[in-house]
Amino acid sequence: MLITILHGPPGSGKGTQAQYLTKRYGLQHVSTGEMLRDEAAKGTPLGNEVAPIMAEGNLVPDDLIVRVIESRLRDADTQRGVLLDGFPRTVPQARALDEMLRRSGRHVDLVLCLDVPEDKLIQRLLIRAKAEGREDDNLETIENRLEVYHRDTEPVLDYYRAKPGTAVECVDGDAPIEEVAMRVRDAVDRHYRDAA
């Protein structure tokens, strides 16, 4: 069973590449952003709590999102392999994930990170804003999301680089979608080959 994390700044293509990866490797896609947006759209108590935080581009509290993931990782469809998209986003979340996986004899195998220059990220999210109207895709919120990423989420990469048993592979994500998908696939295949 493969536990893989897709890591990268807002707009780097995590959700887009997840579609390719889940198909090819039979992983269950678990996107915390999608789960939270779903709750917000349904107007559940959790959704109502997180909606204003997400609208400002801030992170929801660690203990809340850790509970959400802990519950999701108990579901039957996550037992054969998972692709985590948007989680962990802080070092405390990464520690909590490792602890919950350890309890069930699992660990994070691979962290795939997507590198894309900041001007391209902003451009992509502003294009999406016009097409989809996601509430956090406006320039002010995008700039905050990028700041939060550099401050709180980037350190997660160093956490995993220092962790024996977890590989970190960074891929240049500044190319057409299909080209990035090939680079990501090569990185995952390389990991399997090296680990064999």
Does the protein bind ligand AP5 through residue 12 (CB under 6 A)?
Answer: yes
Span interacting with ligand AP5, options 3-11, 21-29, 72-80, 156-164, rule CB under 6 A:
3-11
HSE, CB side, 13 Å, CA atoms: give it for residue 120.
12
Burial class (CB in 10 A: 0-12, 13-18, 19+), 28: middle
Tokens of 113: 């990170």
151 catalytic per annotation:
no
Does the protein bind ligand AP5 through residue 7 (CB under 6 A)?
Answer: no
**Candidates 37, 89, 106, 124; catalytic one:** 89
HSE, CB side, 13 Å, CA atoms: give it for residue 98.
16
Q: What is the DSSP letter of 188?
A: H
Quote the longest CA-to-CA distance of the chain: 46
Residues 100-159 that bind ligand AP5 (CB under 6 A): 124, 128, 136, 145
> Could you tell me how many residues make up the chain?
196
Does the protein bind ligand AP5 through residue 51 (CB under 6 A)?
Answer: no
Torsion 111-22-174-171 (CA) sign: positive
Out of 89, 106, 168, 188, name the contact with ligand AP5 by CB under 6 A: 89
* Contact positions vs ligand AP5 (CB under 6 A): 8, 10-16, 32-33, 36, 53-54, 57-60, 65, 86-87, 89, 93, 124, 128, 136, 145, 176-177, 180
Q: List active site positions.
A: 14, 89, 128, 134, 145
